[in-house]
Each structure stands twice: as structure tokens, then as C-alpha cells.
Amino acid sequence: MRIAVSAVQGAFIEHEQMLSSLGVECFELRQRADLLRSFDGLVLPGGESTVQGKLLRELDMFDELHQQIRAGLPVLGTCAGLILLAEQLSNDPNVYFGTLPVTVRRNAYGRQLGSFYAEESFQGQGVVPMKFIRAPYIESVREGVEIMARVEGNIVAVRYHNQLGLSFHPELCSDTRIHQLFLSLVGQGSSSAA
């Protein structure tokens, strides 16, 4: 099993460290040539979604990744990564991959007061630590989307077939359960395409 981590911008190193600590091979996607390697899952890290979306397009990586996600490649999108996956943003006209049928609000907690920590239950995992940084949340979900976690009533984690989208940053906590959940999707293969 090999995981590709988008490394054009943002908190990708922490994902790599966590995957490595779980004994999983991963590599960075920095340029188009990196897409020639085969991989079984993709991580879209937190950071700045506008910058990441722009760079993925400019580096000519966007269409290939889009096609692979649509074809069922397991993907973990955290924070900005969730924004890249969302079908619609309620406060931004941009759409990036648009493969996850949810509406997401960017910087939903405000820009300055947007960083906080919570511990909440996550579907099938018990209570997990969650770090939020200028985080989005999911305002609404469409058919087939499984809600995995809420914080104060707001949806902060969803799963839709091969896609796991999170408002928070599991890679910034020492708890590895969310990454293990993602790896279990990767282990199941790409049979359940979106």
C-alpha cells in the first residue's frame, strides 16, 4: 500500500509522519511527474484551499487527480482538503474537485477565533481529539453522505464512498484512529466509486 500526499502547500508533513508511524509508505505529490508513480490512496492536507487549488491546476496535476478521485481512489481531505473536495461552498463561488456532495462554509468559525480544540465522538471510533484551525464546517449533506462527527451541532466529518472529509486536523494530534480508518478504506480498494 502506498499513499500519495499532496504537497503543493499546507500541513502535509504531519500526515506523512503519521502514516509513516503506522508503517505505511507515502510520497509527496509536488509536480506532475510524481503522478506517474502508482498509489492506492490520496491525502489532501489542510492549508489554504485557494492556493492549493490554484497550484494543482498550474502544475497540471488537477485533472489527473480529479479523474482518479471520481474513479474511486480513496481520499482523505482535511480542512482545506475538505474544501477542495466539496461540491459547493456557501461563501465562495469556487468549486475545485466537487466530488463530495456537501455544502461547506469556509472559515466558518471566523478568521481570528477559528482555532480551537474539541473532543467529540466520531462514528465507530469513540471520542477522538479534534484540532480546528480557521476551519470550515459542513452546512448540509446530500444523499448517500454519512455524517461521522459533529461539534456543537455542526457537521465536521463525513464519508461518501471513497472520500473522507474532515473540518479538523487529525494529523496534528497524536491519536492515529482517523488515519487508520482512512487506511481501512484504502485496504478495501476503490470498488465504491463516487
The answer to the question of residue 49 lying near ligand GLN (CB under 6 A) is yes
Only one residue has cell 455524517, namely 147
Residue 173 known to be catalytic: no
In angstroms, the CA 184 to CA 12 distance is 20
Q: Does 133 bind ligand GLN (CB under 6 A)?
A: yes
Q: Return the number of the residue (40 or 130) whose C-beta is nearest ligand GLN.
A: 130
- Residue 107 touching ligand GLN (CB under 6 A): yes
Q: Does 131 bind ligand GLN (CB under 6 A)?
A: no
Q: Which residues, in sequence order, are CB contacts of 44 under 8 Å at separation 6+? A: 6, 52, 75, 76, 77, 78, 80, 81, 82, 84, 85
In the complex with ligand GLN, the residue whose CB is nearer, 46 or 170, is 46
Piece in contact with ligand GLN (CB under 6 A), picked from 30-38, 65-73, 77-85, 184-192:
77-85
Is there a contact between 81 and 116 (Cβ–Cβ < 8 Å)?
no
Assess 79 for contact with ligand GLN (CB under 6 A).
yes
Structural element, H or E, at residue 119: strand 116-122
Our CB check for ligand GLN shows the closer of 5 and 83 to be: 83
Nearest-approach distance from CB 169 to ligand GLN, in angstroms: 7
- Cβ-contact 158, 147 below 8 angstroms: yes
Binding residues for ligand GLN, rule CB under 6 A, total 11
Cell numbers found for residue 109: 468559525
The single-letter code of the amino acid at 11 is A
- Residue labelled with grid coordinates 490520496: 42
User: What is the CA angle 178-81-105, rounded to 5?
Assistant: 105
Identify the residue among 16, 40, 46, 76 touching ligand GLN (CB under 6 A): 46
Interacting span for ligand GLN (CB under 6 A) from 27-35, 42-50, 121-129, 137-145: 42-50
- Our answer to whether residue 169 is catalytic in this structure is yes
Residues catalogued as catalytic: 79, 169, 171
Binding site for ligand GLN (CB under 6 A): 46-49, 79-80, 83, 106-107, 133-134
